[in-house]
Chain A
Amino acid sequence: MTSQPVIHFADLKQTFGKDDGSSVTALDGITFDIGRHEFIAVLGPSGCGKSTLLRLIAGLIKPTGGTLEIYGLQVTEPRDDIGIVFQKPTLLPWFNVLDNVTFPMRHKYGRVTAEERVRAQELLALVGLSDFAGKQIDELSGGMQQRVAIARALLLDPDILLMDEPFSALDALTREEMSFELLRIWTERPKTVLFITHSIPEALLLADRIVVMSARPGRVREILDVPLARPRSLASLSDPAFTEMANYIRGQLFTRPVA
């Protein structure tokens, strides 16, 4: 990478103290860079510190060692240019869809202007929910709720989008549909994305590079360039390179051979 990285990790370490005085190392020796508008998938088993990594970037926790910089600045608190999509949609059931999208504005500044409501309406169109602005949250399916959560994360027009297994609570069909939707959204609104997932196909379909992690303590095992051309489509799933790479990652992640 020639230009300055958006996110820069150098020997990043995170330990958590436990009540009994001992400590657990969640992340150790994390070193890599993320470039502008790059789509990075972080893949790894449970307990590899994927979510901790996301929360460190978000400024929700402070690293216990090493360097974490965004645009060359050490992360000390949450930044304004980061949007987060969580595992569950975590919408507010007392607001309708539009008010949920504008919630970050209301929450941060105490009021929502007319222009922001227009912006929210545009974002709803972007995620394919233009006709649902006035609907209540419990009238929406799980996939639709996660679309609202994506629109909400985009409201403040962040440069960086952090996604913590956003489709893992969805059924398999909706999940695949949402992956393609995310690709479309990312193409229309390019962002630097860090996408955490358990799913190898999802990571391959979406990412430019895949950070494969190992657990206890969480370390970067390998960083892989995804050789699939963009724009990607259903056809990418049957590309021989896709299958080959999926098999390779499986081989890396499963410590014991699978019959």
Chain B
Amino acid sequence: MTMSPRVSRTLVLLNRFAPALTFIALLLLWEGSCRFFAIPSFLLPSPSAIVIAGANIEWTLWLGHIWATLRVAAMGFVLAVVVSIPLAIALANSRFLSRTLYPILIIVQSTPVVAVAPIIVTTLGAADLPRVLITFMIAFFPIVVSTVTGLLATPEELIELSRSLKAGRAREVLHIRLPFALPYIFSALKIATTLSVVGAVVAEFVAAERGLGFFIMFSTSFFKVPQAFAGLIVLVALSLAMFRLCVIVQRRFAPWSLPKSER
């Protein structure tokens, strides 16, 4: 079969931009169906209606909401990392701690955070602390589990090398186990960024006067569905940005922990 160079070049371009084109096609289909079937905007707003609703909100207001959510999500995320990694090191190193603490962690993890959130807010008040705590509760567990798995996945021979050098447990963890766990830790961090945004939004649903979660609640209570969708899209963008940041940090500081194709 022969193709003119022009046709084959077009096909190559089509193939390269296939993901973006699929996305645009979906948006057009959405827009077209909304218009064609005259779907009322409080049921399903069209993309254009969402953009217009979003643009109608002042950008300083947007920034205020984004900042409020980002702050809580970031604080909860950092707290989760700071608590989880030492905890994972303790669990991986001590049979006793693992036996005693692990069941408790699983109970905490099994508690639906959405259900606990109102209780936490009632006891701790509607300030940063309960919101950060809720975010922490939702984000910490994957980090603990993955880090423990990573710490225990170190090649046995390297541990023997460490022991033959009498380097001590602290250096064994610091020089060998932790770096080896990095691919596991980064996978968990990527999950945890998304979860920490969820946590922040859940906290705002319970009690808040700012933030994207609050903005969505507020918009829906006035049936401003396009505006709520606009908030949702900003929230997704925030989540994606945090995820992206994790990838960039990993690529910058631990490129060897990525598969070759992703470096």
Mark A residues whose CB is within 8 Å of B.
55, 58-60, 77-78, 82, 84, 86-88, 90, 92-94, 103-104, 106-108, 110, 136-138
What is the CA–CA distance of A137 and B163 in the complex, to the nearest angstrom?
23
Contact A107 B175 (CB under 8 A): yes
- Supply 19 A–B pairs (Cβ within 8 Å), ascending by A: A60-B163, A77-B166, A78-B166, A84-B161, A86-B157, A86-B160, A87-B157, A88-B155, A88-B157, A90-B155, A92-B176, A92-B179, A94-B182, A104-B161, A104-B165, A107-B175, A108-B167, A136-B256, A137-B256
Contact A90 B256 (CB under 8 A): no
Mark B residues whose CB is within 8 Å of A.
155, 157-158, 160-167, 171, 175-176, 179, 182, 254, 256-257, 260
Q: Chain A residue with minimal CB distance to B172?
A: A107
What is the CA–CA distance of A103 and B162 in the complex, to the nearest angstrom?
10
Residues of B within 8 A of A94 (CB): 179, 182, 254, 256-257
What is the CA–CA distance of A108 and B175 in the complex, to the nearest angstrom?
10
Contact A60 B164 (CB under 8 A): yes
Main SS of chain A's interface residues?
Answer: loop
What is the CA–CA distance of A107 and B257 in the complex, to the nearest angstrom?
21
Shortest beta-carbon distance from A122 to chain B in Å: 20
Shortest beta-carbon distance from B250 to chain A in Å: 12
What is the CA–CA distance of A60 and B165 in the complex, to the nearest angstrom?
10
The listed residue (A59, A84, A93) touching B256 by CB distance below 8 A is A93
Shortest beta-carbon distance from B141 to chain A in Å: 27
Contact B165 A107 (CB under 8 A): yes
Contact A110 B171 (CB under 8 A): yes
Contact B165 A78 (CB under 8 A): yes
The listed residue (B164, B175, B254) touching A82 by CB distance below 8 A is B164
8 further A-B contacts with Cβ under 8 Å, apart from A94-B254, A94-B256, are A58-B164, A59-B164, A84-B160, A84-B164, A86-B157, A88-B155, A94-B182, A107-B176
Q: Chain A residue with minimal CB distance to B164?
A: A78
Residues of A within 8 A of B167 (CB): 107-108
What is the CA–CA distance of A55 and B182 in the complex, to the nearest angstrom?
29
The residue in B158, B164, B165, B257 that gathers the most chain A C-beta atoms within 10 A of its C-beta is B164
What is the CA–CA distance of A86 and B166 in the complex, to the nearest angstrom?
17
Residues of B within 8 A of A59 (CB): 164
Shortest beta-carbon distance from A222 to chain B in Å: 29
Residues of B within 8 A of A103 (CB): 175
What is the CA–CA distance of A88 and B160 in the complex, to the nearest angstrom?
13
Shortest beta-carbon distance from B159 to chain A in Å: 10
